[in-house]
Homo-oligomer: A and B are copies of this chain.
Amino acid sequence: MSNNKQILLAKRPEGTPDKDTFKIVETEIKKPGDGEILIRTIYVSVDPYMRGRMVDAPSYVPPYQLDDVLGGGAIGEVVESKSQRFAQGDIVIGSYGWQSYYKAKEDEVRKIDKDIAPISTHLGILGMPGLTAYFGLLDIGKPKEGETVVISGAAGAVGSVVGQIAKIKGARVIGIAGTDEKNQYLKEELHFDEAINYKTTSNLQEDIAKACPNGVDVYFDNVGGEISDAVHANLNKYARISICGAISSYNLEGEDIGPRIQTTLIKKSVLMQGFTLGDFADRFAEGSQALAQWLQEDKLKYEETIKEGFDNIPEAFLDLFKGNNIGKLLVKV
């Protein structure tokens, strides 16, 4: 058995993280004690929210500490078990992050069903991104049949699920993404009604107005910044904005400055609600069940961008901010 490879936070990034943000080390693999298991990692997840945890400031999750392993979603195989609850060969999911082996206490991880769908989907459409889409759209956005739903970051792990659930609910769905390839995927594979390339448009606000002749009733926002400013100008009375992410601001060195939103909210009686998935922790079973059922009924499709090789995890994470991936971005270790 080889050593345990781990990726640590080497220094806190200012602006865009780079390779110096991370440090790869090798440590000895620890033997599981009673009630513990040893996991060999198969997939690790790279997610935009991890950028926020690299800053030493209070947020909804504690910041990473320097020289600690970067925590996050991971799937692995149990290679040794001293727990009654797990057998060798079981596939488990946890939040233990970027390391090739992990000695887990039995309540730190849970077993996943290998038969519903490929195991990697538990880090994507059946996991955190899928649940985020489900609750953020249905509990905050509350799209009604015939309403118009706009999604920024529409081709990402969350946005692509949001749009499909909105279609299931009978809404007209418009995605905003940054490449023609993504937009082709949104329209042809996921059946979005329209898709707008914010990088090539000469006037995003007008393009949104054209794509939404009845205005915008629900805006699912993964991005923030100028893209959102352009959507806000097209909101209908009683619109709902579900604020899931603001990836345009995560690497800013200064403040995120733009038009203040208050007057728009008053004029249109708009609701804006920020959330994180943890707000819905007591309803994960409901969400997982709905997503799994839609997947089995072929009402949901998903795409994964899977990179290979443990050492490529930092690069995959940095790719998130370049906006090139479609669907869920994973690394196969």
Interface residues, chain A, with chain B CB atoms under 8 Å away: 52, 58-60, 221, 224-225, 228, 237, 243-246, 249, 255-276, 279
Give min CB distance, A172 to chain B, whole Å.
Answer: 22
Q: Is the CB of A270 within 8 A of B262?
A: no
Partner of A246, one of B60, B266, B268: B266
CA distance A286 to B263 in the complex (A): 27
Quickly give the copy total for this chain: 2
CA distance A212 to B255 in the complex (A): 24
Q: Is the CB of A274 within 8 A of B249?
A: no
Give min CB distance, A245 to chain B, whole Å.
Answer: 7
Q: Is the CB of A264 within 8 A of B260?
A: no
Partner of A270, one of B228, B246, B263, B274: B274
Partner of A245, one of B59, B266, B273: B266
CA distance A245 to B262 in the complex (A): 8
Give 8 new A-B contacts, CB below 8 A, not counting A60-B237, A272-B272: A58-B267, A225-B260, A243-B262, A246-B260, A246-B266, A255-B259, A256-B260, A269-B276
Chain B residues whose C-beta falls within 8 Å of the C-beta of A263 in the assembled complex: 224, 246, 249, 256
Chain B residues whose C-beta falls within 8 Å of the C-beta of A272 in the assembled complex: 261, 265, 271-273
Q: Is the CB of B267 within 8 A of A59?
A: yes
Give min CB distance, A142 to chain B, whole Å.
Answer: 13
A240's closest neighbor in chain B, by CB? Answer: B273
Give min CB distance, A323 to chain B, whole Å.
Answer: 18
CA distance A261 to B58 in the complex (A): 16
Partner of A267, one of B257, B265, B274: B274
Q: Is the CB of B268 within 8 A of A224?
A: no
Chain B residues whose C-beta falls within 8 Å of the C-beta of A275 in the assembled complex: 266, 269
Partner of A271, one of B224, B255, B262, B273: B273
Chain B residues whose C-beta falls within 8 Å of the C-beta of A224 in the assembled complex: 260, 262-263
Give min CB distance, A253 to chain B, whole Å.
Answer: 14
Chain B residues whose C-beta falls within 8 Å of the C-beta of A58 in the assembled complex: 267
Chain B residues whose C-beta falls within 8 Å of the C-beta of A246 in the assembled complex: 260, 262-263, 266
Q: Is the CB of B279 within 8 A of A274?
A: no
The 7 closest A-B pairs by CB, nearest first: A265-B274, A266-B274, A246-B262, A272-B272, A224-B262, A256-B260, A258-B260
Q: Is the CB of A279 within 8 A of B269?
A: yes
Chain B residues whose C-beta falls within 8 Å of the C-beta of A245 in the assembled complex: 266
Give min CB distance, A224 to chain B, whole Å.
Answer: 4
A225's closest neighbor in chain B, by CB? Answer: B260
Partner of A265, one of B52, B225, B243, B255: B243
CA distance A259 to B260 in the complex (A): 7
Q: Is the CB of B279 within 8 A of A262?
A: no
CA distance A70 to B249 in the complex (A): 43
Q: Is the CB of A257 within 8 A of B260?
A: yes
Point out which of A245, A262, A265, A266 has the most chain B C-beta atoms below 10 A from its C-beta.
Answer: A262
